[in-house]
Amino acid sequence: MPTSTSEKRVFWFDDHKTPNVADVLAHAADFVVHRLAFNAPEAANWAVMAHCHAYCITSARDEVPDQYKGTAELIARCPALLVISTSGAGYDPVDVVACTAAGVLVVNQSGANAEAVAEHTVAMMLTLTKNIMQTDHSLRKERGVDRERFKGRNAQGRTVGIIGLGNVGRQVARICSKGLDMRVLAYDPYLTAAEFQERGATQVDLDTLLAQSDFVTVHCPYNVETKGMIGQRELALMPRDAFLITTARGGIVEEGALAAALETKQIAGAGVDVWNVEPPPLEHPLLTFDNVIATYHTAGVTVDSRHLMAQWNAEQLVHIFQGRRPPRLVNPEAWEGFAQRFTQAFGFRPAS
C-alpha cells in the first residue's frame, strides 16, 4: 500500500554561500532540511541522504566531490530521492540521463543570475577595449610611460556576437544595443527567427558571427554539442582586434587554443570567468597574459542573484511537493516516472 506523509526531507551540503536554499526552506511548512558537510564522516551523510526526497546541489561541478555528484550511484543509494535541484542555471554535477531513468526530476534556477552574468560580461568587454587592466598595472609600478600606449577603442557602434541567446545572452543584447548602440549578431540553433527579432539580435551562423564581431561572448550550456565548440579553427576566423569573453561554462572554449591565439596575436584579448578546472592552477598559460581578464567563476555571484537563486530554488521545491509541475524543469521526460514514485511516497498523484 502507498504510504502518505506530509514531511518532505531535503539535504544540502553547506558551501558557505549566503543566502541559500536551506535558509529559505527552513521557514517552509512540512519541510525538514538537513545541512550536511562534505568533510563530515561519509557514513553519517549517507544515513541522512538515504531517506531524503530532495537534494539541493551547487551548479559548480568542481565544488562537489565525486561521491556526492548526482550520479546513478548516488540515486541508487538514495531510494527516496525524487528531485535534484541545482543552485544556478548549470547542472554539470548531475547526470540528467540517470535521473530521468530513475524517475528523478532535475530542476535549475535558469535566469536567476542572468543580469549579474550579463553585466559582468559587458564589464569585461569595456575593460578589454579600454585597456584598463594594463593601465592600472602600469600606474602602480612605473613612471615615464606615454599614455598613448594604452589607447583603446570605443565600444559604441561596434559589433557584438552572442553565442547562445538565452537568459543571459538576451540581457547582453539588451545592454549592448540599448546602452552602447551596438550591432548585435547571435547564433543559437534552438531559437526561431521571431525569437531573434524579439531579443534584439540578427540571426547568423557561427562562422559569420566569429568573422564579423568585435566582441564574441559565449552564453550557451555545456553539453556534448558545445564541448570544445570554440577551438583553433573558430578563433582563426576572428579579426585580430577582436576580443573573446566566456562566462558560460569551462570546456566550451578550448583553453589551449585560446592561449595559442593570444600568443600569436590572432585575437586582441579575452575575458575568462569559467575554466576546465576551477580555480585554474596558478601556472595556467592564460594567467600569463596581461590582455586576459581572469575571474573565479564569479560572473553570477552577486548579493542580488544569490537572493533570487535561493528563493527560486525553494519555491520550485515547494511547487513540486504540492504536486505541481515546476517552471524550470530540465528533464520533463522524467515526469511520468516521478509521478508514480511521488504517488507512492505521498499518497496523491501530482498534476500532469
Name the residues annotated as catalytic.
Answer: 249, 278, 297
CA angle 228, 233, 234 (to 5 degrees): 70
What are phi and psi for residue 187, nearest 5 degrees? -125, 120
How far is the C-alpha of 186 from the C-alpha of 202, rounded, in Å?
A: 6
CA atoms within 13 Å, Cβ hemisphere of 202 = 13
Count, in order, helices (H) and strands (E) of the chain.
14, 12
For residue 323, give Cα distances in angstroms to 12, 226, 268, 343: 22, 34, 52, 9
- CA atoms lying within 13 Å on the CB side of residue 57: 31
Give residue for cell 592564460. Answer: 286
Q: CA 215, 216, 218: angle at the middle one, nearest 5?
A: 140
The rounded distance, in Å, linking the Cα atoms of 175 and 163 is: 16
C-beta separation of 173 from 165 below 8 A: yes
